[in-house]
Structure 1
Amino acid sequence: MRRAAGFTLVELVMVIVLLAIVATISVQFVALSTRGAIDVSARQQRALQGVVISEQITRELREAFPLSIRTAGNCLEWLPILAGTAYTSLPRGASSDEISVAPFVDAPPAGTTRAIVYGYGTSTDSLYGDADPGPVSPPISSIDNSTSPAVITLSESHRFRERSPQRRLFVVGQPVSLCQSGRFLYRYGGYAPGSSQPTPPGVSPEVLAADLTGNVQFQYTPPSLRRAAVVQFTFTLKDPQGDETTTISQEVQIRNVP
């Protein structure tokens, strides 16, 4: 009789053990590869988030009135420029409330906006006050842009303390603030200017960034006769599912044109 061919029990056990080892190595390889892909995706997402946040802050700061920027704690505040033109005549006398200017390309809104005429001696504090005479007007009640020159009518009479070397006049809106609270960076707007910087303002904010770790750093270098104002901000984003972080640092130059 012919002997039947087959595998012994030892051989089967050895094959099972080898297959288990191969399967374990394969699973670990796939798991590590998947984890690596997830980590790379998370880093790319944080980097993209940082770029978007940085670009949004940069675009807003470039429209800031250069002398209006001030910092306190984890807050940065400024007055946004809505329009600019050249004035032909400023209010004269105690009862004058009209400014004659070159027509705007796009007339800014009235109501909460104000006009600024500033020279080289204007201070930041004076831009948030309501002194008369001063560099900042009371709220603008109306703008007639259909005539030449156009006419800006103020809500009350005002005298400007200084004159611009190039007869420049700017229309600014209500203050804007960026403030950190915990792991969030908030943007505040739509509040009245005050002599002291609110930290933060007492109005409803909008979330600008989340998943922050550490403190957001705002550094401001005032403008001079030879260079523009510079704002530098640094913030760090943390992976919500791990401990990895991404630090973003940006420098913004703001033109100083009195």
Structure 2
Amino acid sequence: MIELVIVIVLLAIVATISVQFVSLSTRGALDVSARQQRSLTGVVVSEQLTRSVREALPTSLRTNASGTCLEWMPVLAASNYLNLPAGPTPDSFEAVPLPGGASASGRVVVYGYGADVYSSGSPGPVSPPATVPSGPSPVTVTFDSGATHRFTTQSPQRRFYVIGDPVSVCQSGGFLFRYRNYGINSIPASGLPANFPGREVIAANLSSGSLRFQVTPPSLQRGAVVSFRFVLEDPDTGESTAISQEVQVRNVP
């Protein structure tokens, strides 16, 4: 009987140690998996932001006062103009066709350095909505709905961009959202939609208030630079992973 009791006690001790070993090993594997998942999420979010920002019109990049939102106008197409609109009511100009015989619709920007591209006044760097048709050279770029516009200045390379409506990326709580289809506003990232499809989720589990954007404006010697940082946090363990990135926008005047 004594021997049986001793065996039972020893087996209980061995079982307890084995269970703790398996539990700790499993916990360690789960922790490593969670860290890898956060790192992968950080890479995916950084790559999404990087690719989007690289397509931005450099002079349109701006942040709100707190740096939690980044706004820009995406470049849809680019080519060279042969002449700028002239006459008392200029409503079109001639240009080199877009690559591949493509067509494009959006606002036309010429140069834009030293001016507010979010102002649609005439004269100004940004035109009303316009259409760049396909066809043989030269093509005639026409402002929509009979609008007229004068550009403030010439481009050194006679270059123009066709841009889309503004896009914003902001943190709200633990989520990172992308906003679109809200129009052009003088205040950065204002009038943002509150629901889908104007608002889309890019990422979740961001640490509260961790997202910060900083924009270094472009100059004639280099392109604009956007830096951002954010922290991803595990909702169960509270562990966090910090992500930071710099993006150079190489679009030129």
**Same fold? TM cut 0.5:** yes
* Structure 1 length-normalised TM: 0.91
d(CA) in 2 for partners of 1:207 and 1:139? 28
Q: Percent identity?
A: 55
State the secondary structure of the residue aligned to 1:233. strand
**CA-to-aligned-CA distance 1:76-120 (integer Å, 9 cap, x gap):** 10010011101001110222211211110153532xx1000015x
For the pair 1:162 / 2:153, whether they are aligned, the reply is yes
| Aligned partner (choices 127, 133, 148) of residue 144 of structure 1 | 133
Per-residue deviation at 1:199?
3.8
Per-residue deviation at 1:63?
0.4
Matched residue, 1:191 = 182
Higher deviation after alignment, 90-99 or 155-164: 90-99
State the secondary structure of the residue aligned to 1:23. helix
Runs of 4 or more consecutive aligned structure 1 residues displaced over 4 Å after TM superposition: none
| Aligned partner (choices 74, 84, 87) of residue 81 of structure 2 | 87
Matched residue, 1:115 = 108
| Aligned partner (choices 217, 223, 226) of residue 228 of structure 1 | 223
For the pair 1:218 / 2:198, whether they are aligned, the reply is no
For the pair 1:75 / 2:69, whether they are aligned, the reply is yes
Instruction: Tell which structure's C-alpha radius of gyration is larger.
Output: 1
After superposition, the CA RMSD in angstroms is 1.4
Per-residue deviation at 1:143?
2.6
State the secondary structure of the residue aligned to 2:104. coil
Matched residue, 1:6 = none
8 Å contact from structure 1 (residues 218, 234) kept in 2: yes
Residues 214/200 of structure 1: CA separation in 2 closer, same or farther (3 Å cut): farther
| Aligned partner (choices 96, 100, 111) of residue 102 of structure 1 | 96
d(CA) in 1 for partners of 2:215 and 2:122? 28
Per-residue deviation at 1:158?
0.7
Higher deviation after alignment, 190-199 or 144-153: 190-199
8 Å contact from structure 2 (residues 169, 177) kept in 1: yes
For the pair 1:24 / 2:16, whether they are aligned, the reply is yes
**CA-to-aligned-CA distance 1:200-246 (integer Å, 9 cap, x gap):** 61353000110010320101111122222110110111112211001
State the secondary structure of the residue aligned to 1:92. coil
d(CA) in 2 for partners of 1:214 and 1:202? 21
8 Å contact from structure 1 (residues 75, 199) kept in 2: no
d(CA) in 2 for partners of 1:199 and 1:244? 33
Matched residue, 1:202 = 193
